[in-house]
Structure 1
Amino acid sequence: MHPTVIGLFCGLLLGLAWTTGGFGGLVITAALGIIGFVVGKVTAGEVDLNQYLGGSNRSSR
């Protein structure tokens, strides 16, 4: 699916969350969306979190 279409769907879903849940619902939905995006990138192997978690500082012997 094209990134523009995905962005459109995300915007529509955030708009629905805002109208049904108010501003608090919008913020919670956006935060969960960002977390899901990052988890998806890590799962797909596009983002490496080892540099942030300290896993790449080990020296091999």
Structure 2
Amino acid sequence: MSKAVIGLIVGMALAYAGYFGGFGAFLLVAALGAVGFAAGRFLEGDWELGDFFRRGDHGERRR
């Protein structure tokens, strides 16, 4: 599935939440979507938990 289709689906989900549930539901769906995105990146191996907790390298990856 292309990134454009995924973006379309996410946008439609946010629109439905905002229309039927109000602004609070919109924020909840957006926050849970961000959590799901982060979990997916961890599962794919693109991110590692240590990347967020290392000190002293100022965002640069160690090799």
1:30 aligns to what?
30
Consecutive aligned runs of 4 or more in structure 1 exceeding 2 Å deviation: none
Q: How does 1:35-54 map to 2 (within 5 A)?
A: 35-54=35-54
CA RMSD of aligned residues (A): 1.0
5+ long unaligned stretches in structure 1: 55-61
Report the TM-score, using the length of structure 1 for normalisation: 0.82
Structure 2: distance between partners of 1:46 and 1:39: 10
Computing the radius of gyration over CA atoms, which structure comes out larger, 1 or 2?
Answer: 1
1:49 CA displacement: 2.1
Report the TM-score, using the length of structure 2 for normalisation: 0.79
Corresponding residue SS for 2:46: coil
Percent identical across equivalent pairs?
A: 39
1:36 CA displacement: 0.5
Structure 2: distance between partners of 1:11 and 1:18: 10
2:5 aligns to what?
5
Corresponding residue SS for 2:47: coil
